[in-house]
Structure 1
Amino acid sequence: MTTQNAQQDATSPAQGSHQWILTLELPGRASATEHGTWNPVPGSTRHDVFVAIRQHVISRFPELERATVAFFALEPNQL
């Protein structure tokens, strides 16, 4: 299998400095896994970013407001 690297061109939207993945779950009822990139405000903590991302996901899925966090990852968006 051959893969090609896609390079970001001038028409691609800019990506954030960090890549995140969050899974929220109401066991036996509902779950959602979302992902994206984020530019933390200088001086913010990992917890600050977690709270902001969780709120972002809940704004899309209000039924998950009381959900358990099943997974959260936040990593620099570079190789």
Structure 2
Amino acid sequence: MTTQTSQSPAPASGVQGSHHWILTLELPGRAAATQYGTWNPHPGATRSDVFLAIRQEISRRHPELSSAVVSFFSLEPNQL
């Protein structure tokens, strides 16, 4: 099984998003891909809204992952 890691393009001006996310998708028996980045949710957005938006963006960029199974998702404020 292959594991790939990639990051969404950084927001303009080097400014990071308000939240950091990690998403691992798996095509059972074929491949796994972990992607991560930052995100600025729209006001009033829910965790589910953000998950669906990220998942849709990854599927748009990598159509081969559109039927992949989600094996991990994390969304947290991007601050220490």
Q: Fold conserved (TM > 0.5)?
A: yes
- Indicate the SS of the match to 2:14: coil
What is the match of residue 46 of structure 1? 47
Is structure 2 residue 11 aligned with structure 1 residue 13? Answer: no
What is the match of residue 29 of structure 1? 30
Higher strand share: 2
Gaps of 5+ in 2: 1-12
What is the match of residue 8 of structure 2? none
RMSD: 1.0
The residue type equivalent to 1:19 in the other structure is H
Shift of 1:59: 1.6
Paired residues, number: 68
TM-score normalised according to structure 2 size = 0.80
- Indicate the SS of the match to 1:73: strand
Identity of aligned residues (%): 71
Q: Which has the larger radius of gyration?
A: 1
Shift of 1:51: 0.1
What is the match of residue 63 of structure 1? 64
Gaps of 5+ in 1: 1-11
- Indicate the SS of the match to 2:17: coil
TM-score normalised according to structure 1 size = 0.81
